[in-house]
């Protein structure tokens, strides 16, 4: 699937240029093929998926992974396998299932992510969110990615607002509850087939609206910050000189002449670099086990 079939490129460019959350309506079932439920069942049953890549969350609090995993020791290694009936029980109790980098398992999502990367600068990934009961899963937060949300099943309400915040140097979500907005400037209800664009930095919270549950996929587009990129370039240059090092504040622990030489090399490397470094790793090989016959969501 190509991003142009989800939303016309001209319209998407317009949304991004405006810098505001935008929703478009779509026909039901148009996203069903992105990740069929049978494929999701297979993934959960046959892969060792650990926190934080796999989470069950309710009201912003993640369930203890021991509630839904069994540990198996194979040789000198131990593996935490997901237990289907325990996952189902937590879903029935109102937990949200969140699985990051799900495009690693689904060809249609891989194509969608690749098309995003081909049309926009940066690196893309796809995460899924599944709930069986009404309520809130993740707590209010903002992302440093642009989000492209596709509602597959069910209905979900979104509240968003742009609140000034201090620039962060990492790709982590803020956890300070004092920063959570007290009011919201935009509200949307997503139905099956709908698309929502959420610009980076916009606070948002969402809730499943009905007993039929909700299933949506969010593609995130990360554009690495210049500061991160230059630090990585400088770190690679310094790595060529084993006697030199950088501390956590990026101050060079070396003499001025050496520092000037390394900065010159870093500048040349930055100008001639073919691509920026990847900041997300979602394609690691994982252990597998057979699919249980009774595995159902």
Q: What is the pLDDT of residues 210-233, one digit of tens each?
A: 888 999 999 998 866 655 556 666
Per-residue pLDDT, averaged over 183-187, amounts to: 94
Q: Which residues, including other chains, have CB under 8 Å from residue 160's CB and lie 6 or more apart?
A: 21, 184, 185, 186, 187, 188, 198, 202, 203, 204
Q: For residue 107, what is the enclosing H or E element?
A: helix 107-119
Cα distance between residue 133 and residue 208, in whole Å: 7
Per-residue pLDDT, averaged over 37-52, amounts to: 88
What's the confidence (pLDDT) of residue 120?
78
Per-residue pLDDT, averaged over 116-134, amounts to: 90
Span of 49-58, 110-119, 254-263, 269-278 with lowest mean pLDDT: 269-278
Cα distance between residue 233 and residue 16, in whole Å: 29
Q: Residue 68 pLDDT more than 90?
A: yes
Per-residue pLDDT, averaged over 122-133, amounts to: 93
Residue-wise pLDDT tens digits, 269-284: 655 544 444 333 333 2
Residue-wise pLDDT tens digits, 8-26: 878 888 888 888 999 999 9
Across the chain, the runs of DSSP E, i.e. the strands, are 22-24, 54-58, 61-62, 69-74, 77-82, 96-99, 123-131, 135-136, 146-154, 156-162, 186-190, 195-198, 202-208, 214-222
What's the confidence (pLDDT) of residue 86?
94
Span of 35-39, 75-79, 153-157 with lowest mean pLDDT: 75-79
- Provide the CB-side half-sphere exposure for 198 (13 A, CA): 30
Q: Residue 153 pLDDT more than 80?
A: yes
pTM (predicted TM-score):
0.74
What's the confidence (pLDDT) of residue 75?
79
Q: Residue 170 pLDDT more than 80?
A: no
Span of 34-43, 61-70, 252-261 with lowest mean pLDDT: 252-261
Q: Which residues, including other chains, have CB under 8 Å from residue 59's CB and lie 6 or more apart?
A: 135, 136, 137, 139
Residue-wise pLDDT tens digits, 71-85: 887 877 877 889 989
Q: How far is CA 78 from CA 85, 86, 127, 231, in A?
A: 21, 20, 26, 36
What's the confidence (pLDDT) of residue 229?
58
Share of the chain above pLDDT 70, in %: 70
pLDDT band per the 50, 70, 90 thresholds, residue 108: very high
């Amino acid at each position: 699937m190509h991003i142009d079939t989800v939303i016309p490129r001209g319209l998407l460019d317009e949304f991004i240029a405006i810098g505001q959350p935008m929703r478009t309506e779509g026909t039901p079932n148009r996203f069903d093929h992105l990740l069929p439920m049978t494929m999701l069942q297979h993934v959960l049953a046959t892969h060792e998926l650990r926190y934080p890549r796999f989470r069950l969350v309710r009201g912003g609090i993640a369930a203890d992974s021991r509630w839904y995993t069994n540990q198996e020791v194979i040789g000198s290694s131990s593996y935490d396998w997901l237990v289907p009936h325990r996952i189902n029980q937590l879903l029935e109790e109102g937990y949200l299932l969140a699985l990051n980098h799900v495009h690693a398992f689904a060809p249609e999502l891989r194509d969608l992510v690749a098309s995003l990367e081909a049309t926009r600068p940066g690196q893309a990934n796809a995460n899924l969110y599944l709930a069986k009961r009404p309520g809130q899963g993740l707590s209010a937060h903002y992302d440093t990615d642009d989000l492209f949300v596709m509602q597959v099943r069910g209905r979900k309400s979104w509240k968003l607002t742009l609140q000034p915040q201090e620039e962060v140097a990492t790709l982590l979500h803020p956890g300070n509850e004092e920063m959570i907005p007290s009011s919201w400037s935009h509200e949307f209800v997503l139905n099956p087939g709908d698309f929502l664009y959420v610009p980076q930095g916009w606070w948002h919270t969402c809730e499943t609206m009905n007993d039929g549950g909700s299933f949506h996929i969010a593609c995130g587009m990360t554009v690495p910050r210049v500061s991160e990129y230059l630090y990585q370039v400088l770190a690679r240059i310094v790595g060529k000189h084993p006697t030199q090092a950088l501390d956590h504040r990026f101050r060079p622990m070396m003499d001025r002449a050496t520092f000037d030489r390394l900065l010159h090399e870093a500048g040349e490397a930055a100008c001639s670099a073919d691509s920026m470094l990847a900041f997300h790793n979602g394609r690691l090989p994982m252990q597998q086990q057979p699919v249980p016959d009774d595995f159902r969501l």
